[in-house]
Amino acid sequence: MNPSPQALIVGAGPTGLLLTVELARRGIDCLLIDALDAPRSWDRATVVHPRSMEIFEALGLADRFLDEGVKTRAARFRSDGETLGELNLALADSRYGFDLGISEEVTESVLTSYLERLGGAVTRSTRLVGLEPRPDGVRATLEQRGERSEVVASWVVACDGLRSAVRELVGVDFPGPVSLPLPCRRALPERSCAARRRRGPRVLAGRGSRDEHRSAGRLQSRLEARPRLSGDQRTGAARQL
């Protein structure tokens, strides 16, 4: 582990990974750490928006994302059996006139592979536990499997999520809620985590009627019964259904 990187990036979720590849591409020496031993194996964010696709194109990664994801060209919002409105995503002022349905787990793995191709890596099982300003930068105390060590970086960047240790260590307040309100938590049943691990096409149903959930389940089963298809083939198959 480099004890004096130019930038210490704390957190290897999508934010930390994207920042690190952008800096590494410009020759900045980064140390990217994450407290977890391995990436989370379930997705949270499931959509990549047009502007993000444009950024991935600049990195030469657009095709990789298109191959892994499913294009959503329109969205229909329904509640209690009624259509509340429709959104035509082709109207986005972008060459990517769609949202791309893709697991956050896949997004992280594409960015990690790209970082490795640039010669970088995620330093895992490494938690930031202390920060102290110095004339030549910031001294950071890291904990790795019970052992403490120090690095001095010119910059420390907080990409460590909602309950940011960096934010707490530098005393920045966060007045917003740090946990989901109860009705929202109840809307995420245990088995949805297993369903979210699957790659490929996904039928999402909100908190609508039982009939909507049943038909979403039937569509999902029919999609999964199909052989593995490429990104565009999957989008076509989803449209036929």
Interaction site with ligand FAD (CB under 6 A): 10-16, 33-36, 44-47, 104, 127-128, 159-161, 165, 188
97-129 CB burial, b ≥16 within 10 A, e <16: ebbbbbbbbbbbebbbebbeeeebebbeebbbe
Minimum distance of ligand FAD from residue 166's CB (angstroms): 7
Q: Tell me the residue type at 56.
A: F
Contact 208, 214 (CB under 8 A): no
Nearest residue (CB) to ligand FAD, 21 versus 165? 165
In 3D, which of 5, 12, 13, 3 has the Cα closest to residue 33?
12
Minimum distance of ligand FAD from residue 227's CB (angstroms): 27
Nearest residue (CB) to ligand FAD, 31 versus 223? 31
Minimum distance of ligand FAD from residue 24's CB (angstroms): 16
| Dist. CA 178–CA 173, nearest whole Å | 12
Nearest residue (CB) to ligand FAD, 33 versus 61? 33
Nearest residue (CB) to ligand FAD, 148 versus 230? 148
Point out the residue whose Cβ comes nearest to ligand FAD. Answer: 13
3 state SS of 124: coil
Nearest residue (CB) to ligand FAD, 193 versus 230? 193
User: Residues 211, 217, 218, 220: what is their CA dihedral angle, to the nearest 10 degrees?
Assistant: 150
Nearest residue (CB) to ligand FAD, 47 versus 62? 47
| Dist. CA 73–CA 67, nearest whole Å | 16
| Dist. CA 193–CA 196, nearest whole Å | 5
H-type helices in the chain, by residue range?
Answer: 14-25, 50-58, 62-68, 104-117, 165-169, 182-186, 190-197, 210-224, 231-240
Nearest residue (CB) to ligand FAD, 57 versus 168? 168
